[in-house]
Amino acid sequence: MQNSTVTEFVLLGLTQDPLKQKMVFVIFLFLYMGTVLANTLIMVTIKFSRKLGSPMYFFLFYLSLTDYCFSTTIAPRLIVDALSAKKTIFYNECMTQVFALHLFGCMEVFVLILMAVDRYAAICKPLHYPVIMSRQICVILIIFSWLGSFLHAATQVILALRLPFCGSNLIDHYCCDLQPLLKLACVDTYMINLVLVSNSGAICSSSFIILLISYFVILHSLRNHSAEGRKKALSTCTSHIIVVFLSFGPCTFIYARPPTTFSMDKMVTVFYTIGTPFLNPLIYSLRNAEVKTAMKMLWHI
């Protein structure tokens, strides 16, 4: 706080039109409730179903947990602000949101990478799969993912805390993130922008490329499998690839570019902070026969 004379910010939100704000409230309340219910259902099903004990579902549990937390970081305030006359957020609350946004966003990136590693080991190294993806190794990978996400989020919030705000406190966004905060800082932010692109941008773009290459290798190796095995593996990988594009496309667009503002930035951010956590459980549950069967058995549907 010693670097700033601002004690609170005002979020301009997605729109200033009263009618559109009511539409935002209804739409995003529905999306958030759907996200919470769907991801909770998947987590409970995986936790208590004996048939979903493989590493793939171990990682899917953490993907659902991350989606739940990621959406909760953003959606409730967006929903409440849609009907609020003044959309204020305190300085400390804003910094907390920056940290949580990058913590769970980065964790989702790491979990998707681990899911790709799991599919690669299962399809390309089937004989060594039980050793490569043992329970102990999976737990260690998740722990390192949380540590890496924490370090990334800490870097972001440290950069935000060092920014001096001595003028306007109007954030042209619906949430606190480093990029909209940089526009309010009363210092030259060129180096911070450079760090942002080399940090968040590099994580998004490099992970996206790695995942695309890994799934290309996986799909290429399927030619040696039987027709039934190829069909099952292709169905699973297709779900993963869809999620990768939904998650990394918008993320790369926002973070892996020079400090330029586009009119579509808010909607792109909405897509990967609220839309993707809503769609992920639908994609995995609707396209995965084992998950649907486990849900029916567990919940007696």
Summarised one tens digit per residue, pLDDT across range 257-273 is 666 666 677 888 888 88
Mean pLDDT on 56-76: 94
The confidence band for 2, taking pLDDT boundaries of 50, 70 and 90, is very low
SS (H, E, C) 240-288: HHHHHHHHHHHHHHHHCCCCCCCCCHHHHHHHHHHHHHHHHHHHHHHHC
**What pLDDT does residue 4 have?**
54
The answer on pLDDT for 301 being more than 60 is no
| 81 or 296, greater pLDDT | 81
Helix ranges (H only) for the chain are: 18-48, 55-81, 91-124, 129-132, 135-161, 178-182, 190-196, 202-221, 227-255, 265-270, 276-287, 289-299
For residue 63, give the amino acid letter.
L
Q: Is the pLDDT of residue 39 over 60?
A: yes
Supply the pLDDT for residue 77.
Answer: 92
What CATH number has the domain spanning 8-299?
1.20.1070.10
> What average pLDDT does this structure show over 36-47?
92
In tens, the pLDDT along 141-158 reads 999 999 999 999 999 999
Report the range out of 85-89, 132-136, 162-166, 237-241 with the highest average pLDDT: 132-136
Domain-wise residue ranges, the chain: 8-299
pLDDT one-digit tens code per residue, 184-212: 888 877 788 777 777 777 788 888 888 88
Whole-number average pLDDT of the chain = 85
Give the pLDDT confidence score for residue 259 in this predicted structure.
Answer: 64
**What is the pTM for the complete model shown?**
0.89
pLDDT of residue 262: 66
Evaluate if residue 1 carries a pLDDT over 60.
no
